[in-house]
Amino acid sequence: MELIVATVTNLLILSSMYILVALGFAFLFNMLGIPNFAHGAIYMLGGYIGLALISAAGINQWAALIIAAVVMGAFGVFLERFCFRPFVGDFNRIIMVCVAVIVILQTSVNIIVGTQIVSLPPFAEGVLSIGLVSVSYERIATFAVGAFLLGMVIWFVNRTKWGQQMQAISQDIEGAFLQGIKVHRISALASFIGCALAAIAGCMIGAYLSLGPFMGDFMLVKVLILAILSGVGSISGIFIAGLVLGALDSILPLFISGAASDAVAVGIVVVLLLIRPQGFFGHEAEM
Amino acid sequence: MIKQLSITDKRKWLKPSILAGLVVIIALLPVIQGSPYILHILILTFIYIIAAVSLRTITISGQFPLAHGAFMGIGAYIAGMASKWLGWPPWLTMPLGGLVAMGIGMLIGYPFARLRALYYAMGSLFFGIGVTYIIYAGGIWTGGYAGLIGIQSMFGSSKVAYYYFFLGLTVVCLLALYRFEFSRIGINLKAIAQSHLVASSVGINEGWYRILVVGVGCFFAGLAGAGYAHYNTVLSPASFGFMATLWLVMYVLLGGIESFAGPIIGTTILVLLPEFARDLKVYSPYLSAFLLLIVVFLMPQGLVSLPKMVMLWYSERKKGKKVAHVSGN
Amino acid sequence: MKRKSLLICSIGLVIILAALSVIGCPATPPAEAKTLRIGMILGITGFFSVREVPDLNQAQACADMINEQGGITVNGEKYMVELVVADTKSTFDGVTAAANKLVYDEGIDLIIGPTAFFAPAAASVCDPEQVLRLNTWVVHTPGEMDASTPYSFMAGNGSLLTTSAAAKYLSANYPDVKTVSIVTPDDGAPPYVIPIATEILAAEGISVVGDPVIYPNETQDFSAFVAKLNAIEEADAIFMQNGLVFHMGPLVKGLRESGNNKPFAGSLPARISQVMTIAGADAMKDVFSIALTPGDPDMAPVASEIISRVTAEYGADYQLEMTAPNCLWVLKEAIEAAQSLDPMTIKAQLESMDEIETIWGTAKICGEQTLGIKHVVASPQAVQIFKDGVETSAGWIDLGFIP
């Protein structure tokens, strides 16, 4: 019984972790069709910048979180302008640029701080124990931040002018141009938001677990799976996709080995792509 | 094609003699300089040339799969497991590896063929990742994380024997792929890539051709992987994952996707360069990143277009006009 | 395919290959005749570098120490130690390339490394050439350091030794613990190392209960595995077999947060201060690992000297792997005992000795029954706990003779 309760708790929190990390990627991929493979590296760098701000400048961790988000957001604008925009539609070139960015960021961080084990100070202390459930406030904070940001993003995409412009772009980019939408500006904004979200995730996970120069690699696969399951043009789908992946990763390892659970998760994604390429909630895309 | 002579008398003997010189140097390399280390790098280059050219062959049909490293891995592990657990000799396991890779490629090529570019890319990407996960989960049979060891070696520790074997294998495979590309089938494939509607209207069965080319490409990838297994005698799934696929893509794109010789040049440079950059020590990954950026930003058509670009620039400059831009795709 | 382009590209290829022929000559030996070049196959870049770069720097400090004391003396000649490093890039193929480079290009026949499951890739290149190799860290996957690798020695450290030490400490300090559950990473070793661990624990009167909890190497969120461990209620303690501090930290944290306060035996060299960074100070009660504490007064003088040099240069929090320097020291001792630089002579010397001096003190050379070959240097192990807010040494364990 305890195992079931623990598993359900793990499921919810793991899902929220995945959603939190994947939001930024989904923003660029599902909305604009840009697969920002460097997302994992940006997530990692955001965490390290947060740490640097806290330990070097003595800033409160929430403030450091926001500053790191802004910094990585600016980096995202730079990436979009020079690395993504020239190659829209050329999947191979975008992947190669992203891998170059990943290698540069990872190597630089590895050389500077790689050999130290570091972690951000926790965003919340203590453990909450109700009956059979025992969860640390830190994990609850991660869950809360993830849920909050997801809600904000969904509101942004569906209710604001910019969000709706992004939806238009994802449906038909030429039509969007013709409608007078400033596609380049919206792309830059989307990139800013996407990378800022990655940085926030990096700080929160960096506090909950620890920081490492290669922590982005592991997350990248999960993020890709989430984005595919959710589907092009849909942000709301991230929610269900996150739950599905969180469930798979919480429950499967209890029964089969870790590598096998990964294989199953990927297998499901491949099958889904074959049957319904646009994901659970996406629409047919012109790309 | 190689045998055709140039038109002018001046160049009549130039090209064949250069090519002959090339052939002589490659053939006599182990004799000219005896370092087994250089031979090792060249053997790896041969193996990756087969894989890279076979990847490019698939792309002439307009499809760009991102799982080629995984197909090398399938060939390698099938050959390795057959050698270790069944005791089969290399001349049996290598074709087996190629055939299994071909079979799996065609099997998944069938449902993948109708996906559009982005989904095809993502799907093949995930398939490749899935293959490595399956190998990791293979327990004692594949060795999992610890790797597969104890594969029968083909020629013991004599690198010279391996060198000539893989040289011969590469020549045979390249000839086969070249003939395939310029055969009736190859022409049809290019037609499909250009406009599948027009191709269908002249009776070309689009689906069947797409699956066929994937099968051919995967066969050679599997063959290359199987050869690698018998050379290295130890295998790790990490050698055939996403990064391996990405490097193969880089080999093709650096050299130039438009030409047959493109992947050959790209592979040679990208395999040799990191070995000579060992002195960079901790900073060596920067070189790889730099190469990636060069390929992406400066050479849309790959190195093969470099002479063309240089001569164009030179002739335009001679005429005093503004430099014309070689437009990319 | 334009013929002119083919022509020019062919010329380019010819030039490259011609250049290769010239450059490809083996590296010329150093001008000074009295340098002993020892190869190192380690991952300077890539994910493994977090472990290998500190190990390399510690080996370099050890080499400097040896050279300051006059180097290695063989037949009256003094040899200065020079470490020649080949980067593996943390990949299998990189190991093969590094081994090829050292053996064939640099002409080296005494090598330290690689680590763990990377070792078989080096063995396939080094063994046919009869290169003497000392593994830095052994996790006991097949082909890593066993009867099939006659030219390799476990001179650094490894799961066998840390497990022996952890089992001894556990039984001595927690006499109520009679059963343990095992948690271990899936690095290919579990099918081979768990039986060894089970036997070692049984020799101390502790039995293993429940299925071993095996987690993928790259796991970041350990909640599912914490839940599995919690479900093994009959266990009196948790025994973590090998792994990294990135694993131990979240495991300890998760266990304590879920109310599981059983003793946690970390049979791995994860520094308690780093585990504490991840898990929090409140989680560290009844947690120990087989790790090194700088400034430990009970540490052997050679190791203390190396550590003080390294912490002076790289900081007090520097990762203390210390497996490569031990390999180097053992190699030095063996060379001087054999009075020869020939790998096979040194190998025979090592096999004929029952004990040898390591940086940790005297160690027995043993392991024939457990691993199939008497090539294990059973160095003394240090236990580390969290006491009064800091990581403290809980003493040293002399492993004696391991069958």
Under an 8 A CB cutoff, do A92 and B249 touch? Answer: yes
Nearest residue of B to residue A91, measured between CA atoms: B118
Using the predicted structure, report yes or no on whether residue A161 has a pLDDT greater than 80.
yes
Q: Which residues of chain A make contact with C55, given a CB cutoff of 8 A?
A: none
Under an 8 A CB cutoff, do C24 and B38 touch? Answer: yes
CA distance C38 to chain A (A): 24
Pairing of strands C77-87, C35-42: parallel
* pLDDT value, residue C12: 55
- Angle, to 10 degrees, between the axis of helix A237-255 and the axis of helix A2-32? 140
pLDDT single digits (tens) C115-140: 998 999 999 899 999 999 999 999 98
Find the CB nearest C188 among B42, B144, B239.
B144
The tally of CA atoms less than 13 A away on the side-chain side of residue B203 is 0
Q: Could you check whether the bond before residue C403 is cis, i.e. omega within 30 degrees of 0?
A: no
Using the predicted structure, report yes or no on whether residue C97 has a pLDDT greater than 60.
yes
Q: Please check whether residue C261 is in contact with residue C286, taking contact to mean a CB–CB distance below 8 angstroms.
A: yes
The amino acid that residue A133 corresponds to is V
Under an 8 A CB cutoff, do B33 and C25 touch? Answer: yes
Find the CB nearest C14 among B1, B18, B236.
B18
* pLDDT value, residue A14: 86
* pLDDT value, residue A286: 40
How many beta carbons lie within 10 A of that of residue B56, not counting itself?
Answer: 29
* pLDDT value, residue A124: 78
Classify the C-alpha dihedral C96-C97-C100-C101 as positive or negative.
negative
Instruction: Spell out the residues 6+ positions from residue C260 whose beta carbon is closer than 8 angstroms to its own.
Output: C226, C229, C230, C238
> Measuring CA to CA, which residue among C232, B121, C119, B129 is closest to residue A96?
B121
Helix, strand, coil share of chain C (percent; to 5): 45, 25, 35
CA distance C253 to chain A (A): 9
Q: Where are the domains of chain A?
A: 2-10+20-216
Q: How confident is the model at residue C7 (pLDDT cuts 50, 70, 90)?
A: low
Q: Locate B24 and state its tokens.
A: 């002589």
Find the CB nearest C224 among A10, A116, A218.
A10
Q: Which residues of chain A make contact with C50, given a CB cutoff of 8 A?
A: 110, 114-115, 212-213
Q: Report, as an integer, the average pLDDT of B290-312.
A: 77
Using the predicted structure, report yes or no on whether residue A287 has a pLDDT greater than 50.
no
What is the residue whose two structure tokens read 């550590």?
C307
Between A117-126, C61-70, C184-193, the lowest mean confidence (pLDDT) is in A117-126
Tell me which H or E stretch contains B40: helix B36-59
> Measuring CA to CA, which residue among C157, C202, C161, C152 is closest to residue C182?
C202
CA distance C233 to chain A (A): 11
d(CA C15, CA C263): 66
The set of long-range contacts for A80-88, using a CB threshold of 8 Å and a minimum separation of 24, is A80/A34, A80/A187, A80/A188, A80/A190, A80/A191, A81/A188, A84/A34, A84/A36, A84/A187, A84/A191, A85/A184, A85/A187, A87/B296, A88/A33, A88/A34
Best of C258, C268, C277, C310 to disrupt the A interface by mutation (most A CBs within 10 Å)? Answer: C258
d(CA C144, CA C153): 10
Query: Does residue C216 sit at the A interface (CB-CB below 8 Å)?
Result: yes
d(CA A215, CA C53): 18
Q: Do domains C35-158+299-380 and C161-295+387-395 have the same CATH topology?
A: yes
Q: Report, as an integer, the average pLDDT of B59-64.
A: 86
Q: Is C74 exposed, middle or buried (0-12, 13-18, 19+ CB in 10 A)?
A: middle
CA distances from C245 to A39, A120, A250, C215, C379 (A): 25, 16, 22, 14, 22
pLDDT single digits (tens) B180-218: 999 988 888 888 888 777 777 777 777 888 899 999 999
Chain B positions contacting chain A at CB under 8 Å are: 64, 66, 111-112, 115-119, 121-123, 125-127, 129-130, 133-134, 136-137, 144, 246, 249-250, 253, 282-283, 285-286, 288-290, 292-293, 295-296
Between A33-37, A135-139, B194-198, C359-363, the lowest mean confidence (pLDDT) is in B194-198
Under an 8 A CB cutoff, do B35 and C104 touch? Answer: yes
How many beta carbons lie within 10 A of that of residue B65, not counting itself?
Answer: 27
Q: Report, as an integer, the average pLDDT of C46-61.
A: 91
pLDDT single digits (tens) A227-286: 888 876 677 788 888 888 888 888 887 787 777 888 888 888 888 888 877 766 666 544
- Percent of the residues in chain B that have a pLDDT greater than 70, as a whole number: 92
Q: Locate C156 and state its tokens.
A: 């650094």
pLDDT single digits (tens) B259-285: 888 899 889 988 888 887 887 788 888
What is the residue whose two structure tokens read 């280059």?
B45
Select the more confidently predicted residue: A260 or A70.
A70
Q: Locate C243 and state its tokens.
A: 């792994």
Instruction: Spell out the residues 6+ positions from residue A280 whose beta carbon is closer than 8 angstroms to its own.
Output: A229, A230, A231, A234, A237, A240, A241
Under an 8 A CB cutoff, do A274 and B286 touch? Answer: no
Q: How confident is the model at residue B95 (pLDDT cuts 50, 70, 90)?
A: very high
pLDDT single digits (tens) C270-301: 889 889 988 888 899 999 999 999 888 999 99
d(CA A57, CA C284): 29
Query: Does residue A269 sit at the B interface (CB-CB below 8 Å)?
Result: yes
Q: Domain C161-295+387-395 maps to which CATH number in 3.30.70.270, 3.40.50.2300, 2.40.30.10, 3.90.380.10?
A: 3.40.50.2300
CA distance B109 to chain A (A): 11
What is the residue whose two structure tokens read 């000219």?
B32
Q: Which residues of chain B make contact with C17, given a CB cutoff of 8 A?
A: 22, 25-26, 29
CA distances from B102 to A163, B83, C380 (A): 45, 19, 54
* pLDDT value, residue C26: 46
* pLDDT value, residue B205: 78
* pLDDT value, residue C48: 87
Under an 8 A CB cutoff, do C319 and A257 touch? Answer: no
What is the residue whose two structure tokens read 């063996």?
C334
Q: Report, as an integer, the average pLDDT of C101-122.
A: 92
What is the pLDDT of chain C when averaged over all its residues? 88
ipTM over 0.85: no
> Measuring CA to CA, which residue among C116, C164, C118 is closest to residue C139?
C116
Q: Where are the domains of chain C?
A: 35-158+299-380, 161-295+387-395
* pLDDT value, residue B113: 78
Rg (chain A; Cα; Å): 19
- Angle, to 10 degrees, between the axis of helix C3-23 and the axis of helix B14-32? 20
Nearest residue of B to residue C144, measured between CA atoms: B146
Under an 8 A CB cutoff, do B281 and C97 touch? Answer: no
DSSP letter for A80, please: I
The tally of CA atoms less than 13 A away on the side-chain side of residue A188 is 9
Using the predicted structure, report yes or no on whether residue B328 has a pLDDT greater than 50.
no
> Measuring CA to CA, which residue among C129, C13, C122, C109 is closest to residue B42?
C13
Q: Report, as an integer, the average pLDDT of C199-225.
A: 89
Using the predicted structure, report yes or no on whether residue A23 has a pLDDT greater than 90.
no
SS3 B238: helix
Query: Does residue C245 sit at the A interface (CB-CB below 8 Å)?
Result: yes
Under an 8 A CB cutoff, do C10 and B259 touch? Answer: no
Q: Which residues of chain A make contact with B289, given a CB cutoff of 8 A?
A: 99-101, 103-104, 107
pLDDT single digits (tens) A167-224: 888 777 778 888 888 888 888 998 999 999 999 999 988 888 888 888 888 888 889 8
Domain C35-158+299-380 indexed as CATH 3.30.413.10? no
Alpha helices in C69-118 (DSSP H): 92-100
Q: Which residues of chain A make contact with B254, given a CB cutoff of 8 A?
A: none
With b meaning 16 or more CB within 10 Å and e meaning fewer, what string describes C200-223?
bbeebebebebebbbbbbbbbbbb
CA distances from B293 to A98, B266, B278, B283, B308 (A): 10, 14, 20, 16, 21
Using the predicted structure, report yes or no on whether residue C25 has a pLDDT greater than 50.
no
DSSP letter for B151, please: P
Which chains have at least 3 CB atom pairs separated by less than 8 Å from chain B?
A, C
